[in-house]
Amino acid sequence: MRTDRRSLIAAMIRLARRPGLWLMVLLIAVIFLMPAAGPLMRWLFPGVPRPVYTRASFFELTLAHAELVAISSLAAAVIGIGFGIFVTRESGREFAPMAGAIAATGQTFPPVAVLALTIPVLGYGAAPAIAALCLYAIFPIIAATITGIESVPAPTRDAAMGMGFAPRDILWRIELPLAFPFILAGLRNAVIINIGTAAIGSAAGALSLGSPIIEGLSASNPAYVLEGAVIVALLAVAADRCFAWLEDLSRHGGLEQPG
């Protein structure tokens, strides 16, 4: 009983040390306290007539923003990981150099430019934003999946084959678990960039945390800009810390401690 309680306390301390957790708490607090920030904004920007953005609640904006990022990243993950697996199979090996080149070139495309290119094709609103975010996120995920699977040591794969692992077993039990930290890092990269690009997407009419920023910029209302910017920055940093946390968890004991 006693050891139970002690280990529980230890676990809670470990949890409390996670900045991701506190940032999430802070983010939620800021989202719900923002409507009460009127006096603060009035003090910061005395000349502003309406200090707090009210066209949509910040909770609504954050939810819409998260939705844009989540849908696009998830789709990109499915496509990117799938493609990464395909080009590392025997049947898809022919396409591996091409996939590498596309992933490398794709990552040099500025995300804003990708967003700008989808607008003429898909029009305004959430659809082009999601498509652009997804398109952009695919590249780092493909690159990460390929790197991850290729990082599996040749003797490991050889031993697995020699012991009678079927190709499917090798993929699911050896390659994907070993590639997971790499894929997670690629996903983290993509999600963080997407959080930023989704904000810019509101210039093209997608509802997101960028909406107050864009409106503030065009109406010369710095208070709106600051409100949107603070929340979207917090969202990005919190998401990043949460991914860091996941990466720590996914690392296997054997890889964590040297020797």
Partner 1 sequence: MTGLCGLALLSFVRRPKLRSFATILAAALILWGSLAGAGHFAALLMQESPPTARASLGPAFWTLAVAILAIADAMQRGNFVIPARVCIGAAFCAGFFLMAAAGDFDDLSLAKEFSNNRGIFVTELLRHLGLVCAATFFALLIGVPLTMLVLRKTAVAGFVFASLGILQTIPSIALFGVLIAPMSKLSEQLPFLRDLGINGTGPAPAIIALTLYSLLPLVRGFYTGLSEVAREVKDAATAIGFGARQMFIEVELPLAMPALLSGLRVVTIQAIGLASVAALIGAGGLGTFIFQGIGQYALDLVLVGALPVILLALLANFFFEMLLGLARRKL
Partner 2 sequence: MIELRNVSKSFGATPAVADFSLKIENGAFFVLAGPSGCGKSTVLRMINAMIVPGKGQIEVDGQDIRAMEPEKLRRSIGYVIQSAGLFPHWTAADNVLAVPRLLKWSPSRCAARLDALVALLRIDPALLDRYPRQLSGGQQQRIGVARALAADPDIVLMDEPFAALDPVSRAELQDELRGIHARSGKTIVFVTHDMDEALRLATGMAVMNGGRLIQTGSPASILLAPVDDFVRDFLGGESLQLRLLDLVPVEKLMKPGKTKATETIAAGASLKNALNLMLARRRSFLGVEDASGKRLGEIHLNDIVARRDAN
Residues of the shown chain interacting with partner 2 in the complex, contacts defined by CB under 8 A: 153, 155-156, 158-166, 169, 174, 177-178, 252-255, 257-259
Minimum CB–partner distance for residue 3 and partner 2 (Å)? 19
When the beta carbons of 150 and 169 are compared against partner 2, the nearer one is 169
When the beta carbons of 66 and 170 are compared against partner 2, the nearer one is 170
46 touches, from partner 1, partner 2, none (C-beta below 5 to 8 Å by class):
none
CB neighbour burial string for 175-200, b if at least 16 within 10 angstroms, e if fewer: bbebbbbbbbbbbbbbbbbbbbbbbb
DSSP codes joined into one string, the chain: -HHHHHHHHHHHHHHHT-HHHHHHHHHHHHHHHGGGGHHHHHHHSTT-S--S--SS-HHHHHHHHHHHHHHHHHHHHHHHHHHHHHHTSTTTGGGHHHHHHHHHHHHHS-HHHHHHHHHHHH-SSHHHHHHHHHHHHHHHHHHHHHHHHHTS-HHHHHHHHHTT--HHHIIIIIIHHHHHHHHHHHHHHHHHHHHHHHHHHGGGT--STHHHHHHHHHTT-HHHHHHHHHHHHHHHHHHHHHHHHHHHHHS-HHHHS--
Minimum CB–partner distance for residue 150 and partner 2 (Å)? 15
In 3D, which of 169, 170, 134 has the Cα closest to residue 149? 170
When the beta carbons of 54 and 151 are compared against partner 2, the nearer one is 151
236 touches, from partner 1, partner 2, none (C-beta below 5 to 8 Å by class):
partner 1
200 touches, from partner 1, partner 2, none (C-beta below 5 to 8 Å by class):
partner 1
Minimum CB–partner distance for residue 123 and partner 1 (Å)? 9
When the beta carbons of 59 and 109 are compared against partner 1, the nearer one is 109
187 touches, from partner 1, partner 2, none (C-beta below 5 to 8 Å by class):
none
110 touches, from partner 2, partner 1, none (C-beta below 5 to 8 Å by class):
partner 1
Q: Which parts of this chain interact with partner 1 (CB under 8 A)?
A: 44-45, 94-95, 97-98, 100-102, 105, 108-113, 116-117, 119-121, 192, 195-197, 199-200, 203-204, 210, 213-214, 216-218, 222, 225-226, 228-230, 232-233, 236-237, 239-240
226 touches, from partner 2, partner 1, none (C-beta below 5 to 8 Å by class):
partner 1
